[in-house]
């Protein structure tokens, strides 16, 4: 029986380590497909178009929304970010567990459209460690780091909307924990409807006449 893919929504404060974690998860296990978002943000040093993001102009972004080619989109610190629909639906249909690494407004929109989605929130071990990771990454100016820390204060208010929190302390442990949550999620009745239906039918036919 072909198993159904899980839609995995991963959020967390900027600098918590989502990108690092997702990269490791996809490298370590073969059941995942990482959705590549579209953004109007400019690429950081080392970010390739079509790998980190599809980097687009605002007019292109707005056109995709109009054409209903995105599952969700949001504005974050002055830029648009959105999830292209086609890849996600194709991968889910192929039984892949599809990862959306998106911020909270987008996560809540996905939950409305896909109620079976699994929502995970990645946390740093402490706020001081978060700031130190953001500074250590060296990709943002001090002003942008301050904006992102301020945004973290707002995002922290929405943590209870998520199904699980994951503390990214030791990276390897965190990757294993994440994978084990996804593996467990495959065992819910909602994700095994076809199997349950078949067993029910078999049980009925075997118990005939008794
Ligand atoms: P995000 O995608 O959530 O914004 P990144 O994956 O870019 O965060 O990580 C932010 C910084 O923290 C990077 O420099 C990364 O190497 C570092 N980092 C990620 N996970 C850990 C960890 N478990 N321990 C220490 N540093 C980490
Ligand atoms: P960054 O600029 O650090 O790459 O991303 C900023 C924020 O945008 C992060 O919280 C990231 O998870 C979020 N993000 C990335 N892609 C998407 C997307 O497609 N939709 C939404 N809603 N948020 C996204």
CATH assignment at residue 143: 3.40.50.300
Q: Band of the pLDDT at 209, cuts 50, 70, 90?
A: low
pLDDT at 9 over 70: yes
The DSSP H or E segment spanning 88 is: helix 85-93
Q: Do 148 and 58 share a structural domain? A: no
Would you say 52 and 39 are in contact if contact means Cβ atoms under 8 Å apart? no
| Chain centroid offset of residue 31 CA | 14
Q: Do 116 and 83 share a structural domain? A: no
Residue 210's pLDDT is: 55
Q: Band of the pLDDT at 10, cuts 50, 70, 90?
A: very high
Encode pLDDT of 148-167 as tens digits.
Answer: 999 999 999 999 999 999 99
Q: 168: which residues sit within 8 A by CB, 6+ positions away?
A: 12, 16, 17, 20, 21, 122, 123, 124, 125, 174
Residue 1's pLDDT is: 63
Percent with pLDDT over 90 in the chain: 90
Query: Quick check: CB of 76 below 6 Å from ligand 2?
Result: yes
Percent with pLDDT over 70 in the chain: 98
Q: Residue 170 belongs to what domain range? A: 1-31+96-210
Q: Do 178 and 141 share a structural domain? A: yes
Q: Do 122 and 185 share a structural domain? A: yes
Among residues 60, 94, 128, the one where a domain terminates is 94
Among residues 77, 94, 111, the one where a domain terminates is 94
Q: Do 164 and 64 share a structural domain? A: no
Q: Do 114 and 60 share a structural domain? A: no
Q: Band of the pLDDT at 103, cuts 50, 70, 90?
A: very high
Query: Quick check: CB of 167 below 6 Å from ligand 1?
Result: no
Q: Do 117 and 179 share a structural domain? A: yes
> Can you tell me which atom of ligand 2 is nearest the CA of 106?
22
Rounded CA-CA distance 88/176 in Å is 23
Rounded CA-CA distance 56/82 in Å is 11
Residue 4's pLDDT is: 80
> Can you tell me which atom of ligand 1 is nearest the CA of 169?
23
The DSSP H or E segment spanning 200 is: helix 193-206
Residue 43's pLDDT is: 95
Instruction: Give the number of the ligand closest to the Cα of residue 151.
Output: 2
Q: Do 136 and 204 share a structural domain? A: yes
Residue 84's pLDDT is: 97
Query: Quick check: CB of 35 below 6 Å from ligand 2?
Result: no
Q: Do 160 and 112 share a structural domain? A: yes
pLDDT at 25 over 70: yes
Q: Do 187 and 150 share a structural domain? A: yes
The structure's pTM equals 0.92
Among residues 45, 70, 94, the one where a domain terminates is 94
Residue 208's pLDDT is: 75
Nearest CA to ligand 1 atom 14: 137
Q: What is the CATH number of the domain that holds 85?
A: 3.30.63.10
pLDDT at 8 over 90: yes
> Can you tell me which atom of ligand 2 is nearest the CA of 35?
19
Phi-psi region of 119 (alpha: psi -120 to 50; beta: other; left: phi over 0): beta
| C-alpha of residue 140 to centroid of ligand 2, in Å | 15
> Can you tell me which atom of ligand 1 is nearest the CA of 168?
23
Q: Do 138 and 107 share a structural domain? A: yes
Total domain count, the chain = 2
DSSP β-bridge partners for residue 80: 75
Instruction: Give the number of the ligand closest to the Cα of residue 17.
Output: 1
Q: Do 183 and 84 share a structural domain? A: no
Give the DSSP letter of residue 198: H
Encode pLDDT of 167-197 as tens digits.
Answer: 999 999 999 999 999 999 999 998 899 999 9
Rounded CA-CA distance 104/186 in Å is 23
Concatenating the DSSP letter of every residue in 153-196 gives HHHGGGGGGSSEEEE-SSHHHHHHHHHHHHHHHTTSGGGGHHHH
| C-alpha of residue 199 to centroid of ligand 2, in Å | 42
């Amino acid at each position: 029986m072909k198993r159904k893919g899980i839609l995995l929504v991963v959020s967390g404060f900027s600098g918590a380590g989502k990108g690092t974690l997702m990269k490791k998860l996809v490298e370590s296990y073969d059941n995942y497909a990482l959705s590549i978002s579209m953004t109007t943000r400019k690429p950081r040093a080392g970010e390739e178009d079509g790998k980190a993001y599809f980097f687009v102009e605002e007019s292109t972004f707005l056109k995709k929304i109009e054409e209903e080619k995105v599952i969700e989109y949001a504005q974050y610190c002055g830029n648009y970010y959105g999830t292209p629909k086609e890849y996600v639906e194709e991968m889910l249909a192929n039984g892949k567990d599809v990862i959306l690494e998106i911020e909270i407004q987008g996560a809540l929109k996905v939950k409305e459209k896909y109620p079976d989605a699994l929502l995970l929130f990645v946390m740093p071990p402490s706020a001081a460690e978060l700031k130190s990771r953001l500074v250590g990454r060296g990709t943002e100016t001090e002003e942008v780091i301050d904006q992102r820390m301020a945004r973290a204060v707002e995002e922290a208010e929405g943590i209870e909307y998520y199904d699980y929190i994951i503390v990214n302390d030791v990276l390897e442990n965190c990757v294993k924990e994440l994978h084990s949550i996804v593996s467990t999620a495959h065992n819910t009745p909602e994700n095994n409807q076809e199997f349950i239906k078949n067993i029910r039918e078999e049980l009925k036919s075997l118990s005939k006449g008794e």
